[in-house]
Amino acid sequence: MPTATVILPAAGRGKRFADSDAARRRGSAEPSATKVFAILAGRPVLAHTLAAFAAVENVVEVLVPVPADVVAWARDSFAGAAGAGRRLAFLAGGDERADSVARALEASEGKTELVVIHDAVRPLLRRSVIEEALRAALDYGAAVVGRPVDHTLKRVADGGVVAGTVSRERLWLAQTPQVFRREVIAQAYSRRGRLVGKVTDDAQLVEAVGGQVMMVRGDVANVKITTAEDLRLCEALLAGGWPFEDRDRFHN
């Protein structure tokens, strides 16, 4: 497998998390109230995420866009957390997630063939899932981790009235990591300003410029921490023995 750069956007202040009861109990002082630095099972959320990628030998560079006022603090606090012999750099992120990714792409040394973009607040990530996504991106140019939709979907009109049931056939919930050949994501970001409408993930940019994106099956445990409830869910999964050995038992 070729080498990979990992980008972990972490510049958001996480208002929904900071407004929750759990965040208020922790206090409002930065950076502790920012969800990526919240404590999960005795360590910051970001430490868990960094550890997941430290277990993947192909990763040689990790870039973490954070709020500008915590760059120095984060650099000191997480020194060496990406694993021995790997570049770990913290930089000031942008106003939007895509701005942070764009800055990280510019700050990359550019020596790796693959670029991995992962939500820094998804700390429960299996090495096998990362490696499968790397292989798919190497073969097809781009890959997204996700899961098939297994709930009934309802379209809701104004006032909360159910307007209809939506077929879930062929629908997947996109997660991260999303992995790209470097030239694929670089081209997509170079054309970002020409795209119309809101962009919600990096694969959408690749799709918009005509790129092919493959889906890689992920885990329910790959939770994105948005609220204090999500943090408690991750704590419960870790307390219950995650990663579980029988992951594939129920896939069929």
Task: Say if residue 24's pLDDT is above 50.
Answer: no
pLDDT digits (tens, 9 = 90+) for 144-180: 999 999 999 999 999 999 999 999 999 999 999 999 9
Task: Say if residue 27's pLDDT is above 80.
Answer: no
CB atoms within 10 A of CB 139: 10
Classify residue 192 by its DSSP letter: G
pLDDT digits (tens, 9 = 90+) for 195-233: 767 778 999 999 998 999 999 999 999 999 999 899 999
pTM, two decimal places = 0.90
* CB 5 within 8 Å of CB 63: yes
Indicate the CATH number of 4-239 among 3.30.56.10, 3.90.550.10, 3.90.1300.10, 1.10.1040.10: 3.90.550.10
| C-alpha to C-alpha distance for 227 and 213, rounded to whole angstroms | 29
Q: Where are the domains of the chain?
A: 4-239
Q: Which amino acid is at 76?
A: D
CA-based nearest residue to 36, from 99, 85, 83, 100: 100
Count the residues in the chain: 252
Query: For the residues 28-41, what does the mean pLDDT come to?
Result: 72
Query: For the residues 9-30, what does the mean pLDDT come to?
Result: 55
Task: Say if residue 16's pLDDT is above 80.
Answer: no
CA-based nearest residue to 239, from 214, 215, 221, 216: 221
pLDDT digits (tens, 9 = 90+) for 109-153: 999 999 999 999 999 999 999 999 999 999 999 999 999 999 999
